[in-house]
Amino acid sequence: MIKAKQLIGKPIDASDGDIGSVHDVYFESQTWNVRYLVVDTGRWLPGRKVLIIPGAIVKPWHEEDSLPLDLTQDQIKSSPEIDTAAPMSRVAEDILHRHYNWTPYWSLMTVPPPSLVTASDEERREAERTAESLNGERLLSAKEVREYRVHANDEEVGSVADLLLDDECGRILFLAVTVDGILTGKDVLVPAHLVSRVDWSDSTIHVEATRRAIETSQEYTPAA
Query: pLDDT per residue over 188-219, tens digit each?
Result: 999 999 999 999 889 999 999 999 999 999 99
pLDDT band at residue 137 using 50, 70 and 90 as cut-offs: low
Residue 95: CB atoms within 10 A of its CB come to 13
Longest CA span, the chain: 60
User: What was the pLDDT predicted at 147?
Assistant: 85
Query: pLDDT per residue over 14-70, tens digit each?
Result: 999 999 999 999 999 889 999 999 999 999 999 899 999 999 999 888 888 999 999
Query: pLDDT per residue over 70-105, tens digit each?
Result: 999 999 999 999 888 888 888 999 999 999 999 999
Same domain, 100 and 6: yes
CATH number for the domain including 90?
A: 2.30.30.240
Same domain, 9 and 101: yes
Provide the number of structural domains found in the chain: 2
Residue 140's Cβ-count burial label (10 Å; 0-12, 13-18, 19+) is buried
Is 128 a domain residue? no
Same domain, 86 and 148: no
Read off the pLDDT of each residue in 118-134 and give the average, rounded to a whole number.
48
Is 122 a domain residue? no
Domain limits at 204? 143-215
Is 123 a domain residue? no
Same domain, 23 and 90: yes
Same domain, 155 and 209: yes
Say whether 112 sits in a helix, a strand or coil: coil
Is 222 a domain residue? no
Same domain, 88 and 11: yes
Is 203 a domain residue? yes
Prediction pTM value:
0.84
Same domain, 99 and 28: yes
Is 115 a domain residue? no
Check whether the bond before 60 is cis (ω within 30° of 0). Answer: yes
Is 170 a domain residue? yes
pLDDT band at residue 141 using 50, 70 and 90 as cut-offs: very high
Is 151 a domain residue? yes
User: What was the pLDDT predicted at 129?
Assistant: 44
DSSP 6-58: HHTT-EEEETTEEEEEEEEEEEETTT-BEEEEEEE-TTTSTT-EEEE-GGGB-
DSSP 8-state secondary structure symbol assigned to residue 169: S
